[in-house]
Amino acid sequence: MDKAKPGEAAVVLVSGGLDSMVAGGMAREAGYRIFALTIDYNQRHRIELEAAARVAKMLDAERHVVMPLDLTRFGGSALTDDSIAVPGNGVMPGIPVTYVPARNTIFLSLALGWAEAVGATRLAIGVNALDYSGYPDCRPEFIAAFEGMAGVATREGGFKILTPLIDMSKAAIALEAARLGLDAGQTWSCYDPQNGRICGICDSCRLRAKGYAEAGLTDPALA
Amino acid sequence: MDKAKPGEAAVVLVSGGLDSMVAGGMAREAGYRIFALTIDYNQRHRIELEAAARVAKMLDAERHVVMPLDLTRFGGSALTDDSIAVPGNGVMPGIPVTYVPARNTIFLSLALGWAEAVGATRLAIGVNALDYSGYPDCRPEFIAAFEGMAGVATREGGFKILTPLIDMSKAAIALEAARLGLDAGQTWSCYDPQNGRICGICDSCRLRAKGYAEAGLTDPALA
């Protein structure tokens, strides 16, 4: 990631998971002032919001906004509609039912609004198009299209989207968290919490476990 | 506007103002099933939400979602920060302080999420690039960029954004409301309500008054 200019700020989408923590840590290392943005979308795994508060602290965020936005009013996803179950049978081809319609579009739009209001020039998001669930709004072509749109949507444009994880494997992300000295034990990735514990079988749990195994590390969240 | 295919649905952004009522009325006339979406962004003129409920009924909306999204947490606009006054000195060159950072990007993103969840193929918005306040996110180039982005953001793409007012004068919009039999007296346009009455001097009041005058009509809201 290119170094920030003095005083330059980034709005970092912080979910409470491993990926956004590492993306934020890389932005901080590059010198950006960090404005952490978390969306409380009434997700099935709202427990991740507690992790997001811990991550915002770890990133030394100047501000952390937790924005309530009740996407269960729209539904259409296992994460926003309790009647749709989270699959536990492995990462399959195609777009899974945990896809939340237009979620990253909505989240980046909110990040753009906050960035324009506070004068931040960068939006950081921990999307990853390698060890991922196949969501359309995690692909590089989506990010490029959003960045182009943001340029004409705003007063002065010039916003760049930082996606430092986009080509990284989950193993590389786990190693990067360790290198940055960020405690992944404070994060939450599971889509389908079971009485406050991870399920171990959703896509997100599987991808994370595979990453730590390939990195030859023990996941600090399981230690 | 092209006619809808049988059963085709549109998510219409309904603010409670004149423009979105007419845009929605044109979509209804074209045969679309109407899903009305209103954002309660804690705007200074939240009184428009009452008008939005009336408009959704007039449009025979199958559903009307009023989504709370507290944009005062971001600030940066006279409409979302009480410490910034709404100007009353006329429509000036440049982007006024009533511009809400990335508002239409955020609203269209939410419309996109709901559309994808319910299978709607169209998003309708009452933007107007003629008698307007100079907001960047009301211009045709923004709409085109958003539509392109939406195509790669979603499962199957194919979303079109309906902007039937984009080249219409405010006078033409006032006439179109009358032609469609929609009661503009039920709408609310003023940015800066004074004890439940319109201020008469904000940009929105001025543009509406100019439109009705040019149309040779009396604004039913003032009758």
Beta pairing class for A122-124 and A63-68: unpaired
Q: What is the pTM assigned to this prediction?
A: 0.97
Q: Which long-range contacts (CB under 8 A, 24 or more apart) does A3-7 make?
A: A3/A30, A3/A31, A4/A30, A4/A31, A4/A32, A4/A33, A4/A122, A7/A33
Mean per-residue pLDDT for B10-36? 98
* Closest in A95, A110, A153 to B136, CB measured: A153
Contacts of A94 in chain B (CB under 8 A): none
pLDDT digits (tens, 9 = 90+) for A142-190: 999 999 999 999 999 999 999 999 999 999 999 999 999 999 999 999 9
End-to-end CA distance of chain A, in Å?
31
**Does the beta-carbon distance from B117 to A145 stay under 8 Å?**
no
Amino acid at site A134: G
Amino acid at site A108: L
User: Could you give the 3-state DSSP secondary structure of residue B68?
Assistant: strand
Q: What is the ipTM of this complex?
A: 0.96
User: Could you tell me how many CB contacts below 8 A there are between chain A and chain B?
Assistant: 146
Tokens of B130: 């003629």
Residue of A40, A106, A127, A161 to mutate, testing the B interface (most B Cβ within 10 Å of its Cβ)? A106
How much is the pLDDT for A195? 93
pLDDT digits (tens, 9 = 90+) for A11-55: 999 999 999 999 999 999 999 999 999 999 999 999 999 999 999
User: Could you give the 3-state DSSP secondary structure of residue A73?
Assistant: helix
Local confidence band at B154 (pLDDT 50, 70, 90 cut-offs): very high
**Does the beta-carbon distance from A117 to B137 stay under 8 Å?**
no
* Closest in B68, B74, B108 to A113, CB measured: B74
Tokens of A30: 């590059």
Contacts of A146 in chain B (CB under 8 A): 149, 153
Number of neighbours of residue A13 by Cβ within 10 angstroms: 23
Q: In what order do the strands lie in the sheet with A122-124?
A: A63-68, A33-40, A9-13, A122-124, A160-162
**Does the beta-carbon distance from A153 to B102 stay under 8 Å?**
yes
**A41 neighbors A71 (Cβ within 8 angstroms):** yes
How much is the pLDDT for A158? 93
**A178 neighbors A219 (Cβ within 8 angstroms):** no
**Does the beta-carbon distance from A146 to B149 stay under 8 Å?**
yes
Q: Which residue has the tokens 């992300």?
A: A173
Decide if pLDDT at A207 tops 90: yes
Mean per-residue pLDDT for B70-77? 96
Residue of A43, A116, A137, A139 to mutate, testing the B interface (most B Cβ within 10 Å of its Cβ)? A116
* Closest in B100, B113, B145 to A149, CB measured: B145
Q: Select from B9, B4, B7 the least CA-distant residue to B116.
A: B9
Which of the two residues, B126 and A92, has the higher pLDDT score?
B126
Whole-angstrom CA distances from B126 to B20, B24, B149 are: 4, 8, 19
Q: Is the dihedral angle over the CA atoms B184, B187, B188, B194 positive or is it negative? A: positive
Local confidence band at A223 (pLDDT 50, 70, 90 cut-offs): confident
Please give the distance of CA A161 from its chain centroid, rounded to a whole number. Answer: 13
Tokens of A201: 């079988």
Domain ranges of chain B: 9-215
Local confidence band at A60 (pLDDT 50, 70, 90 cut-offs): very high
According to CATH, the topology of domain A9-215 is Rossmann fold (3.40.50)
pLDDT digits (tens, 9 = 90+) for B157-188: 999 999 999 999 999 999 999 999 999 999 99
φ and ψ at residue B163, rounded to 5 degrees:
-130, 65
Q: Give the residues across from B37 on adjacent strands.
A: B13, B65
**Does the beta-carbon distance from A70 to B70 stay under 8 Å?**
no
User: Could you give the 3-state DSSP secondary structure of residue A39?
Assistant: strand
Å between A82 CA and nearest CA of chain B = 15
**B37 neighbors B9 (Cβ within 8 angstroms):** no
How much is the pLDDT for B131? 79
> What kind and span of H or E run contains A12?
strand A9-13
Mean per-residue pLDDT for B190-216? 96
End-to-end CA distance of chain B, in Å?
31
How much is the pLDDT for B104? 97
**A69 neighbors A34 (Cβ within 8 angstroms):** no
Å between A175 CA and nearest CA of chain B = 29
Local confidence band at B90 (pLDDT 50, 70, 90 cut-offs): confident
How much is the pLDDT for A132? 80
Q: Which residue has the tokens 């099935």?
A: A44
**A73 neighbors A92 (Cβ within 8 angstroms):** no
DSSP state of B99: P
Tokens of B165: 């007012």
Q: Select from A154, A67, A9 the least CA-distant residue to B100.
A: A154
Q: In this prediction, what percent of chain B has a pLDDT beyond 90?
A: 94
**A65 neighbors B74 (Cβ within 8 angstroms):** yes
Q: Select from A160, A155, A131 the least CA-distant residue to A143.
A: A160
DSSP state of B83: T
In angstroms, the CA B165 to CA A179 distance is 54
